[in-house]
Chain A
Amino acid sequence: MKKLLILGGGTAGTMVANRLGRELDAEEWQITLVDQDPIHYYQPGFVFVPFGIYKKREEVIKPRKGLFTPNVRFILSDIDLIEPDKNQVRLKKNDTTLSYDFLIIATGTSIQPEETPGLLGDEWHKSIFDFYTADGAFALAHKLRTWEGGHLVLNIVDTPIKCPVAPLEFIFLADWFLHEQGLRDKVEITFATPLPEVFTKPRASAFLGNLLEERRINVETEYLIEEADQEKKVIRSFDGREVPFDLLVTIPLNMGSGVIERSEMGDDLNYVPTEKHTLKHKTFENIFVLGDATDLPTSKAGSVAHFQTESFIHNFLRYIDGMELLPTFDGHSNCYIETGYGKGTLIDFNYDVEPLPGKFPLPGFGPFSLLEESRVDHWGKLMFRWIYWHLLLKGKELPIPVRMSMAGKRL
C-alpha cells in the first residue's frame, strides 16, 4: 500500500484529494488529508459580507468532513512538524506520526495583523478591520450597518497577498454600498498600496485605470505602513506619510503556515520553494506544493490552485509510473473583479502574458468580458459559489482551459 499525504484542506488540498481519490486505485493507495479546522470557508464570498450581499455565516462556510470522496481519510488535527528527511509528518493530536511515500503541501497563507504595530489592540474590529477572515468580514458588516461616514482607508501592508484583486473589489463595492446608503458624500475613500501604482499592468491600467478617478478614490502609492496609531487615528508609513482614518480596513501581512516555519522549509514569509512549471518541491523528489503555500510568482488565488491541481494530477499520474515531470504549469490565473453597481469584469493571464481585453471562454462570444465592465461578469461571480462547492472542490471538470489561451484576446 502506498501512502499519499496531503497537508491542508483548503481549496487546493480538497480539490487534489478528491481528484486523486477518483484517479488512484484504492487497493494500492491510501490517501490521507490533515487540517486543523473543521470548517471549510468559501473565501471568494468574504468580500461580499461587509456589504450585506451575503448575510449569514451559512452562506460562506460548510463542515469540512462532508467534502471528501469516500476513499480520502480526513484527520482533524494541528500539524506539528514536517520531517522530509524521514518521510514523515508529526501531528499534535495524540502525538501521531504519519509516514508517506508522497507528500502534498497545501497549507495556504493567512493574515498576520500582529506583524504591524498598532493594528491589534482596543480598536481591532472596532475601527480597524480585516475582511480576510469570516470573523473580520462579519464584524465589518456590523460596523458598516450603523456607520455615519468619515474617512475610509484601505491599506495593503505588503505583497504578496491572497486574492490580489480583493482590495480593489472592496473599494468598488464600498463606493457602491455607500452610494446606496446615501452616505457617499460624507465619506472620503483612500487606497494606500505598497505597489508603485494601483494598476501595474499596462493593458489593465488602460482599461480600468479611470475607475478610481470616476469613483473619487484617493490613492497613496509606494505606501509601506510602519504603524497604526490608535490614539491619533492615523496610519504612518516608513517615509512619514500620515493618513487619518475613521474606519481602517487592513490587508495585514500574509504569511504561509507556521508548520512551514517550524519545519524550516520556507522563505522569510513561510512560502515553500517550488519548481515553477512542475510544482515539485525544489529539493525533495517526493514532495509537491500546491495553492497559496508556494513561493511562485503568480497570484495566490483559487483559480490558480485549480489550474495547478489539474496540471499536477496529469503529471503525478506519469511520475508514479516512472516517467519524468512535464513543465505544464504556466502560471495561469483567472479572476473576477467586482466593480460595483451590479457589474464586474474578468482577468485571465499567466506568468508571461498580462491581462488582455477580449471575450472568455469562447472567443468572440464570451459570455464573459475580459477587462471590460459587464453585468454578466457580476452574475458569473455570484454563480461561482455554486460551481465552487459542487464542481470545483469535488474535482469535476470545468469548461475552461487549464493552460492560458490567447484565443478571444485582443493584443
Chain B
Amino acid sequence: MATLEMAGTSLELDDDGFLVNRDEWSREVAEELAKADDISLTDRHWEVIEFVRGWYAEKDESPTLRRITKVGGIPTKELYQLFPEGPGKKVARIAGTPKPEGCV
C-alpha cells in the first residue's frame, strides 16, 4: 500500500493515490498530494478545493466538473488548466473527497 510521508507521519493511500482515511485531510496534506501531480496550489486552486469539499459535506459525493462550473462558478476550461489531464479525479484526490465513480 502506498503512503504519503509528511512531517514525521505516514498517511495511507489507495491504488489511485487517494487518502484511505479521509479524516486525515488537511491543507498541508492537500499541498503534498498536489505535489505528486506537479501542481502548486494557488488561491484559485483553493477556491475549487473548498467548493468540492463543501459539496461533498452536503451531498456525500464529489461534484462533477460541470457542477464545479455551474454551481461553483469556475469555468470548465480553467479546471483543465488548473488540474491538467484529468481534473475530475485530480481535484477529488487533492481535496480529500471520493474518486468520481460509476456503479461498476
Contact = CB atoms under 8 A, between A and B. Distances in A.
A276 B60 contact: yes
A220 B86 CA distance: 11
B76 A268 contact: no
B23 to A, nearest CB: 17
Given A222-B89, A224-B76, A199 B100 contact: no
Interface residues of A, number: 37
B67 interface: yes
Nearest to A157: B66
Given A222-B86, A226-B76, A159 B64 contact: yes
Nearest to A168: B104
A269 B89 CA distance: 21
Contacts of A268: 67, 70-71
A355 B103 CA distance: 8
Contacts of B101: 195, 200-201
A205 B103 CA distance: 11
Given A194-B65, A238-B77, A297-B60, A159 B102 contact: yes
A164 B100 CA distance: 13
B61 interface: yes
Contacts of A24: none
A222 B88 contact: yes
Given A226-B76, A238-B76, A200 B61 contact: no
A263 interface: no
Nearest to A205: B104
A14 interface: no
A63 to B, nearest CB: 32
A253 B69 CA distance: 15
A299 interface: yes
Contacts of A297: 59-61
Contacts of A164: 102-104
B80 A238 contact: yes
A333 interface: yes
A299 B16 CA distance: 23
Interface string B54-93: 0000011100111100110000110110000111110000
Nearest to A221: B86
A196 B104 contact: no
A196 B66 contact: no
Contacts of B89: 196, 222
Nearest to B89: A196
Contacts of B80: 238-239
A204 interface: yes
A347 B103 CA distance: 9
Contacts of A355: 103-104
A35 interface: no
B11 to A, nearest CB: 20
Interface of B: 15-16, 59-61, 64-67, 70-71, 76-77, 79-80, 85-89, 99-104
Q: Which 9 A/B pairs are nearest by Cβ-Cβ distance?
A: A204-B104, A196-B89, A297-B61, A200-B101, A239-B80, A238-B76, A222-B86, A164-B103, A158-B66
8 contacts: A195-B88, A195-B100, A201-B104, A226-B76, A238-B76, A238-B80, A297-B60, A355-B103
